[in-house]
Amino acid sequence: MKTTKIFYFLLISLFFISCSEDEITQENEQSTEAVKETVVTAKNNLKPIGSGVMMQAFYWDVPAGGTWWNVVKGKVDDWSNAGIDAIWLPPASKAQNGPFSMGYDPFDYFDFGEYNQMGSVETRFGSTAELQSLVNTAHNNGLSVIADIVLNHNSGGASEYNPFKGTSTYTDYQPMSGMFNRTYYDFHPNDYHANDEGAFGGFADLCHHKTYVQDWLWNNSNSVAKYYKNVIGFDGWRFDYVKGFAPWVIKDWKNAVGGFSVGEYWDANVNTLDWWTGQAEVSAFDFACYYKMKDAFSGNDLTKLNDDMLWKRNASKAVTFVANHDTDEIVNGKILAYAYILTHEGYPTIFYSDYEQWLDKNKLNNLIWIHNNLASGSTSIMYADNDEYIARRNGNNSAGIVVYINNSNSWQERWVETNWSNTRIKDFTGHSGWEPVTQGGKWVKIQAPPKSYSVWSVK
């Protein structure tokens, strides 16, 4: 996540509470009337997550003014028709910077745009009603909706004397929703321990070892997790900055509410990613793949695609991507990088700006179709040098494919061994007009245009 400029300020207290943490727990447990009796569209006809492609439905600094939920709502029908199966939304609840915040400085986990606090009623993205309308529209189009969850840190608390630091800290949280009030006991340092795996950017660092915090985040019937799922209608979770706390936190959340889960463990070390997915028992963004693609396409060395990646270790836990709201470093050859992740194993993600603004949408739609209909089975890397890369998907529910990526400035041709004998094949991208017939020994010559790619399968 990106660091948001935070200006701490004192909140004018609506009332003063002079009770113990246990009493606060009881008081907040009684706030179930704050949970709105909202009917969420039945979710019987959603596409299985992982059967298609995920859309990251935002970018950094999307337009403010409370319009974004409606913008996305207007696109989900087209996205679903293109083969998207899930949309990932930015953090949806009220944050410390109110109408200007991208949501990564959370203040009130239960205010989705209905309480006048932190400078606005609506969030940057819109109102609660507009969010739920978006969720229902996505469900009606068969799309799951992934919530961006920030559990590591909070922002916007009022100042209070903190005996564990001997100074005042901004750890007094009295959100207008009346849900999940917090004090210095709930952050580091406290009476349990001084710190956990990592703090972020000077924000108040939540202590997940405290039962009170666990109850409000995922255990209680009106916890953040269950409210997001049962009231707002979210179907899965993208967890922000999971380096900041232990993997059991994500595992416990997932066990409490279910749903597809992916963590942002920002590390290029595939061993670390593989370890984390095993401990958390959820998926992770494949940063190892991302950085190898950066080296390959920006550094003009496609042999880097031979290197280890999470999808090669455990494809069922790898969410692959070319760019996101935090990092967008693959500039040269970006469409080639999409050709790579949309023809290989793992669950690919498309970045909103690439799809809607910067790249050829028709080419991306074609690659999404190839991913959903042709690219199945295990992967065999057949050839790689500085400019060329060829891999074969060996087929599972389909005939499989051969993908040929060419980063040179001229057309290239190669003989390759396919899965098909005496079979006519074609390039399903339309970049090549060849329709060769494979030999009895399954070999065939294929081609790819300069700075482009071809994807071959049975005609």
Domain shared by 347 and 391, yes or no: no
Q: What is the mean pLDDT of the chain?
A: 92
Domain shared by 226 and 274, yes or no: yes
DSSP assignment, residue 117? Answer: B
* CATH code, 384: 2.60.40.1180
pLDDT class for 40, splitting at 50, 70, 90?
Answer: very low
Judge whether 387 counts as a catalytic residue: no
DSSP assignment, residue 450? Answer: T
pTM of the model: 0.90
* Residue 152 marked ligand-binding: yes
Domain shared by 383 and 369, yes or no: no
Domain-located, residue 1: no
Mean pLDDT of 349-374: 98
Domain-located, residue 5: no
Q: Residue 435: which domain range?
A: 379-458
Relative orientation angle of helices 247-257 and 270-280, to the nearest 10 degrees: 40
**What pLDDT, on the 0 to 100 scale, is given for residue 8?**
34
Q: How far apart are CA 279 and CA 178, in angstroms?
A: 34
* CATH code, 224: 3.20.20.80
Tell me how many domains the chain contains. Answer: 2
Query: Residue 211: what residue type?
Result: T
Domain shared by 309 and 425, yes or no: no
**DSSP states of 46-84 as a string?**
PPPTTSSEEEE---TT---SS-HHHHHHTTHHHHHHHTE
Q: Give whole-number Cα distances, 125 to 113, 128, 129, 131, 233, in Å.
A: 9, 10, 11, 8, 17
The active-site residue out of 235, 252, 264, 427 is 264
**pLDDT per residue over 295-336, tens digit each?**
999 999 999 999 999 999 999 999 999 999 999 999 999 999
Domain-located, residue 365: yes
Domain shared by 308 and 399, yes or no: no
Q: Using an 8 Å Cβ cutoff, are 441 and 387 in contact?
A: no
Domain-located, residue 92: yes
Listed in sequence order, the residues at least 6 apart from 359 whose beta carbon sits closer than 8 Å to its beta carbon are 334, 335, 338
Domain-located, residue 292: yes
Domain shared by 294 and 398, yes or no: no
Domain-located, residue 21: no
Using the 3D structure, point to which of 343, 373, 403 is the last residue of a domain. 373
Using the 3D structure, point to which of 357, 373, 389 is the last residue of a domain. 373
Q: How far apart are CA 451 and CA 343, in angstroms?
A: 17
Using the 3D structure, point to which of 339, 373, 407 is the last residue of a domain. 373
Half-sphere exposure of 90 (CA within 13 A, CB side): 29
End-to-end, the C-alpha distance of the chain in Å comes to 44
Domain-located, residue 262: yes
Domain shared by 401 and 360, yes or no: no
Mean pLDDT of 36-62: 78
In the predicted structure, residue 346 carries a pLDDT above the cut 80: yes
Domain shared by 407 and 267, yes or no: no
| More reliable by pLDDT, 1 or 209 | 209
Domain shared by 136 and 190, yes or no: yes
Q: How far apart are CA 169 and CA 46, in angstroms?
A: 45
Cβ burial of 281 (10 Å; 0-12, 13-18, 19+) is middle
E strand or H helix at 170, and its extent?
Answer: strand 167-172
In the predicted structure, residue 362 carries a pLDDT above the cut 50: yes
Domain shared by 367 and 419, yes or no: no
Q: How far apart are CA 348 and CA 269, in angstroms?
A: 19
pLDDT class for 43, splitting at 50, 70, 90?
Answer: low
Strands 84-88 and 144-149, bridge-based pairing? parallel
Domain shared by 214 and 122, yes or no: yes
Q: How far apart are CA 352 and CA 68, in angstroms?
A: 12
Nearest partner of 39 among 121, 117, 114, 139, judged by Cα:
139
CA angle 63, 69, 75 (to 5 degrees): 100
Mean pLDDT of 253-259: 98
Domain shared by 336 and 446, yes or no: no
Judge whether 160 counts as a catalytic residue: no
Q: How far apart are CA 157 and CA 175, in angstroms?
A: 9
The active-site residue out of 196, 240, 286, 354 is 240
Domain-located, residue 26: no
| More reliable by pLDDT, 108 or 24 | 108
